[in-house]
Structure 1
Amino acid sequence: MPEIRITPCTVTGLYTLQDIAIRSYNDHYLYLWFDGGDWYLDRSFSEEALRDELTDPNAAFYLIYADEELVGFLKLNLHKAFEDYPAEEALELERIYLTKEASGRGIGREVVKFAISIAAKYNKRVIWLKAMDSSRSVDFYEQNGFVKCGTYTLPFEQMKPEYRGMYVMKVVL
């Protein structure tokens, strides 16, 4: 397994984050969209969108390196209520995106462990997330202790309807 390093990303790293976000998204998700992902990439990874998120005190971004090569990023929402858990007890794992070359190498497992360590640092009782029901990521999260606890449908008209379904998953700490 490669040597993994996960470092915080602030607004000074906006363009590095933007680059890895677009590269990793393009590697895996363009087939979901009628427009090849243009709408989503602009909505989520434009300079303005990332600057807004990077300056949000509730959002925490991390850059993921494997053997010193930038291979992905992690986004956590540090205080986001879930089910019966108030915001001070719940952390949302919003995104783990890895490049195609980094996938399947054990990196994601290390990133989940890292997210759990961040949750522990903030005395969280639960980590929750949404995973596409058509994606292998559901199996990945189950292998890492998460359980399905609900469903959600993405409201994006630009997305092909057969890919809008999501599982809501959680791990209680």
Structure 2
Amino acid sequence: MTSEPDLPEQAITSAKVIELKPVTADAAPQVARVAVRAYNDHYTHLWFDGGSWYVGKCFTPEVLREDMSHPNHRYYLILAAQQPVGFVKLKLHEPLPGHEGLNALELERIYIERAATGQGVGKAVMQQIIDIARQHQKSLIWLKAMDSSTEAIAFYRQNGFVHCGTHHLDFPVMKPEYRGMVIMKKEL
């Protein structure tokens, strides 16, 4: 098993093409590597155990392989300068709770490694997600974000998402002060 080389910051900055590459269950080990790197870059502070429990619950190749096989789930690697710098998980047919009549897509996960943030990668990826939603004739994209992730919430707002609800996580090893989430939506 080989690992992807770290992407030099100057390569990200000069990258002309940010690609959202669809992947299937056979890419689970590669997605697991990038998922763990990106998650650890941003979220270890949420956990008493530094995120080990959550990573084991969500980002092992076995767990990802099973989740990627679900017919409603779509996974994408985020490539900058042809190197993986993050991943996206979409649920193609997932109504926003309380808005079941709308044809909605859930952006369940968008994780980008710290070295790729602030380089326009997120903006390019978000536009591609919007394009995917439109191709599937969706009228709404929705997501959940940690209410303590002010940068992420600001990013979503800049991309047209508005606050529409809250959620609370019950994970046993998560620090109580970080269990709140906001629900945001973008109408298309």
Normalised TM-score (structure 1): 0.96
CA contact (8 A) 1:150 1:168 kept: yes
User: 2 CA distance for matches of 1:155 and 1:79?
Assistant: 25
Whole-angstrom CA distance in 1 between matches of 2:99 and 2:165: 14
Question: Out of 158, 161, 166, which is 2:173 matched to?
Answer: 158
**1:48 to partner: Cα distance:** 2.3
Give the distance between the partners of 2:42 and 2:183, measured in 1 at CA: 20
Cα deviation, residue 86, structure 1: 3.9
Contact 1:80 1:86 in 2 (8 A): no
Report if aligned partners of 1:4, 1:67 keep a CA contact under 8 Å in 2: yes
Query: CA offsets, 1:29-77, max 9 Å, x none?
Result: 1111001111100000122210111100100000011111210001100
After superposition, give the CA deviation of every residue in 1:86-144 in whole Å (9 maximum; x if it has no partner).
47x11000111011100111111111111111111111110000011110100000000
Q: Does 1:141 align with 2:137?
A: no
Matches within 5 A, 1:2-151: 2=15, 3-82=17-96, 83-86=98-101, 89-135=103-149, 136-151=151-166
Q: Is the Cα–Cα contact under 8 Å of residues 130 and 166 in structure 1 kept in the other structure?
A: yes
Identity %: 49
TM-score, normalization by structure 2: 0.88
Q: Is the 8 A contact 2:19 2:79 kept in 1?
A: yes
User: Separation in 2 of the partners of 1:140 and 1:74?
Assistant: 16
SS of the residue corresponding to residue 79 of structure 1 reads coil
Question: 3-state SS of the aligned residue for 2:79?
Answer: strand
RMSD of aligned residue pairs (Cα, Å): 1.1
Deviations 1:139-158 (A, max 9, x none): 00000000001111111121
- Alignment-mate amino acid for residue 41 of structure 1: V
Unaligned runs of 5+ in 2: 1-12
- Report the AA paired with residue 27 of structure 1: D
